[in-house]
Amino acid sequence: MSDDTFLDECPWEPPRAGSEVEHLLGALDRLRTTFRWKADGLGPDGLRLRIGASALTLGGLLKHLALQEDYTFRVKFQGADLGTPWQELGWDGSGTWEFETAAQESPEQLYAYWDDTIARSRRLVADALADGGLGQDAHVAWPDGTHASLRRLLFDLVEEYGRHTGHADLLREAVDGRTGEDPPGGWRPVSGSYAFS
């Protein structure tokens, strides 16, 4: 398979050789896409399925990761309010709100939260990179006044997706048996409006 054919079939793959920015954003988008594939194409029952005593669901993870994207880039990076749609939805900052409220949301709404947030995050990060690179200070700071960098926030988000994509592996297998490390070549979402970077 040629490189062009491979990239057409698997546009979420990070570059084989590239800059630090390309590899970092490539790793993040690959995890985003793998997570989205694990959550894709489900109705209310599939998005609400729980395993054992865990409160985690794929719908809750869609809402949680959408919230985390906005929290990372709006609040931690820009120092802004969390904003729409979270404030209007009654986000309470509890850390469990998105998991508790996701069961009341339609699949269409859950996919829209995540898909819209990813598009917003990509625009914000592209603008930030053009205006100062990975090393620029974020708004968030430790008690000693040291600010996190954009690089640190992106690595934290990679970690967040790594953890929750593992959870999504288990949940999706319990829903319908879907397994796999990465989406199959040629995969495109059947729900929502997710677009590859």
- What pTM did the predictor assign? 0.94
Residue 1 in this model has a pLDDT that exceeds 70: no
Residue type at 51 in one-letter notation: I
Distance CA 106, CA 132 (A): 39
Domain chopping of the chain, boundaries:
3-176
Give the mean model confidence (pLDDT) for residues 134-158. 97
Give the mean model confidence (pLDDT) for residues 32-50. 97
Percentage above 70 pLDDT, the chain? 96
Contact 86, 147 (CB under 8 A): no
Please count the residues of the chain.
197
Find, among 165, 75, 57, 65, the residue nearest to 117 by Cα: 65
DSSP state of 125: H
Q: Report the topology of domain 3-176.
A: Four Helix Bundle (Hemerythrin (Met), subunit A) (1.20.120)
Q: What is the reported pLDDT for 16?
A: 86
